[in-house]
Copies of this chain bind each other. A is one copy, B any other.
Amino acid sequence: MLTQDIAKALAARLDGDGTIEIERLVHPAQARGPADLALAVSAGAAALLANCPAQAVVVSASRPVPPGSFRAVIAIDEGRMALATLTALFDPGPVRDKGVHPTAVVAADAVLGEGISVGAYAVIGAGSRIGAGTSILPQVTVGANVSIGADCMLHAGVRIGDRVIVGDRVIIHANAVVGSDGFSFAPDLNSPEGFKPGVKVTRVHSLGNVEIGDDVEIGACTTIDRSTLEVTRIGRGTKIDNHVHIGHNVTIGESCILCGMVGIAGSVTIGDRVRLAGGVGVGDHVTIGDEAAVAAGSGVATNVPARTFVSGYPALPHQRSLENFQYLGRAKRLHAKVDEIAARLALLEKK
């Protein structure tokens, strides 16, 4: 790709040679030659430019390089979106087979779209449909009567249960599981009946389904349980990190971010553009409103209103959690102060 095309994709100014053929996007420390484009937007990366063998660089417009230092300089205003654009331009995706690998077991009545890739030892069940341009890497299991959209990427070892519906452009990372059974029993998990000697814990079967919207990303080893009778739903554009657990009957809105190791118990409802930081736990039947955010490691036991930032265990409005934490840090001094007051009071009382 030519430097001028890269600048165009970034809608950024290019100073110098627009015709350098770029093959790799690199950190300045790893640049080796003229086909490398060094990305040096952060101060740390920019400091490495002095000895960088690359001839083309992307820098922050607010941190310009001396004129003539490089054959081509692309200056950007906002680093994060530029990083997204640039990494997308240079990502070849995983190496994969063209077409269906001869060892893949594809049901006779499965319907495969054009231009798909199905890797070695993948299994696609009866009645399933895979959209055009979708890649299924080795050893993936797609159950029966599954519907997967176009241009998806299912990494190695992904398990998709029967009847699950997956939208377009969905990415599912290695060893994730979509459509496992819900964890639901009689008597109810919290019922006193459950503690009685001789109790037989009887399972509630999961007859429902999972539906994954377009442009969703699901992390490695993440699991999403099917609903008891309805549908566990992940809204369009929502991104889910590794090791996330999404229980049965859960509804998650659009463009949410669920970071690593988030755990969502059954029957939770989450709005749109909600951000759950790493390790957050959400108790069953809780509702979290649109554009709410939860700080890392928090335990959400009660509903969170829209546009609220909560933190802590149990989670409170962040300002209150912070206050609690600060007052806790002053407890020692408070105890000393009260002791001193008590002594002075006793002295007064003696008079």
Total identical chains: 3
A172 to B143, CA, bound (A): 16
Interface 1/0 per residue, A122-137 and B, CB below 8 Å: 0101100000000001
Residues 182-214 of A at the B interface (beta carbon under 8 Å): 183, 185-191, 194-197, 199-207
> In the complex the two chains form, what is the Cα distance from A221 to B225 in whole Å?
12
Q: How far is the CB of A178 from chain B (nearest CB, A)?
A: 9
Which residues of chain B come closer than 8 Å to A196, judged between CB atoms? 273
Chain B residues lying within 8 Å of A47, measured Cβ to Cβ, are none
Contact A281:B283 (CB < 8 A) given known A80-B187, A257-B185, A265-B259: no
Which residues of chain A from 144 to 173 have a CB within 8 Å of any chain B CB? Answer: 144-145, 155-157, 159, 161-162, 171, 173
- Additional A-B contacts beyond A29-B230, A175-B175, A219-B223 (11; CB < 8 A): A30-B229, A39-B229, A84-B185, A94-B143, A105-B120, A141-B157, A157-B157, A173-B223, A175-B177, A278-B283, A341-B341
26 contacts between A and B (CB under 8 A): A25-B229, A27-B230, A83-B186, A87-B206, A87-B228, A94-B161, A101-B105, A155-B159, A159-B175, A173-B181, A174-B180, A177-B220, A180-B219, A183-B260, A190-B275, A195-B293, A201-B237, A241-B245, A243-B243, A245-B260, A265-B296, A279-B299, A281-B297, A283-B296, A323-B332, A324-B328
Q: Is A43 an interface residue (CB 8 A)?
A: no
- A residues engaging B (CB < 8 A)? 25-27, 29-30, 39, 80-81, 83-85, 87-88, 90-91, 94-95, 101, 103, 105, 119-121, 123, 125-126, 137-139, 141, 143-145, 155-157, 159, 161-162, 171, 173-175, 177, 180-181, 183, 185-191, 194-197, 199-207, 217, 219-221, 223, 225, 228-230, 237, 239, 241-243, 245, 247, 255, 257, 259-261, 263, 265, 272-273, 275, 277-279, 281, 283, 291, 293, 296-297, 299, 301, 307, 313-314, 320, 323-325, 327-332, 334-335, 337-338, 341-342, 344-345, 348-349
**How far is the CB of A248 from the nearest CB of chain B, in Å?**
10
Contacts of A273 in B (CB 8 A): 194-197, 199
